[in-house]
Chain A
Amino acid sequence: MSVSFGEIEAILERFPPHPEHLVSALQDVQAKFSYIPPAAMRAVCDHLGVPISRGWAVATFYKSFSLEPRGMHEIKVCLGTACHLKGGARLTEGLERELGVERDHTTRDLQFTLETVRCLGTCAMAPVVMIDNDYLGEANIRSLKRELKKL
């Protein structure tokens, strides 16, 4: 996705120039571009009056920020306790093989980002995989392959 100055401006307008908004502003950038483009990082830091080294530290500390573009579809495999006991780790490995990409990485064609998350709070349906905004409960590699084909 290309990054336009106007889009970044529109995000900055929501926040008064104060360092307390660093996390929130970066979240809005992440939501808009699905990653934090360097230009947006610099603009946010300048606007809020924080050194870029702090923006960098914050963006690399929190797991929801990505500094690289992400895939069209996000696959989140839940590795909460209940999902772990019911085979979440095996599912993750299966998906890694299926997509040819390691967890927390994006396929080269930018189609899929495979992520592991800690508890989606749907433990009764374990193991759970979230594909974009849809939950897939009591998942196994077969039902996942079927869902992926639909995309």
Chain B
Amino acid sequence: MSAKKTQKAKESKKAKKEKDDGLIRFKINGQAVEARAGWTILETARQNGINIPTLCFHPAVEPIGSCRLCVVEVRQNGYSRVAASCITPVQGGVEVLTDTEEVLNVRRWVLEMLLANCPASHQIRELAKEHGVTSTRFKVEHPEDACPRCGLCVRACDEVVGVRAISLGNRGVFKEVTAPYNQRSMECIRCGTCLYVCPAGAMEQLFPLVSAP
């Protein structure tokens, strides 16, 4: 009886300590993890050596949740939702699963579609292969295209360099990385940051088209 009491007291003490240290505790794939408030699920996973694939994520710029490769299933109180881990803040007590059927279904289809839409990207081909996607059922309309339109280059030019020479022009399926009037940018300082951050190697083709002459 008393042993149980001590045990309980210990537990409540432990709980109190946990509350005090400001850390948020939850589980990823069954593994208990700790995070600071404001961290994302992706950051926490990487901190703990759990791999979640990404394309449009780069630690130097704000995440926007564009590529959706980093989706995970978040379960809480019997509810489950699929969320992009790069923009989803951590939440105490939830259970995050990175490889459920629902998650893999999203990831595989996105990769298969990317193979058809960015056929010239070696990097995307490699990433797809890692996830078992080696061919695509969709039409390849532009064999030379490598750009996934994730906008990492644009965000880097804005947030890191502060020049804002390029933008994502048009919308939807017509979206493309451009400089105003589809001409070479007069603002560009040819720093090459966009080349460096591009996850698909697409900037190598695009740089000569958008950078300052």
Contacts and interface: CB of A to CB of B under 8 A. Distances in A.
Quick check: do A and B touch in the complex, using CB within 8 A? yes
Contacts of B179: 53, 56
A53 B171 contact: no
Contacts, number: 33
Interface in B167-212: 167-171, 178-181, 185, 187
A57 interface: yes
A55 interface: yes
Q: Which interface class (under 10, 10 to 19, 20 to 34, 35 or more) fits B?
A: 10 to 19
B170 A60 contact: yes
B166 interface: yes
A57 B157 CA distance: 14
Nearest to A58: B167
Label chain B's interface by main secondary structure: loop
Interface in B89-137: none
B175 to A, nearest CB: 9
A61 B170 CA distance: 5
B170 A53 contact: no
Contacts of A60: 169-171
Q: Which of A38, A53, A54, A67 has the most CB of B within 10 A?
A: A53
B25 interface: no
A52 B171 CA distance: 17
Nearest to A53: B167
19 contacts: A41-B180, A51-B164, A52-B180, A53-B164, A53-B165, A53-B166, A53-B180, A54-B164, A54-B167, A55-B180, A56-B180, A56-B181, A57-B168, A57-B169, A60-B171, A61-B169, A61-B170, A61-B171, A67-B181
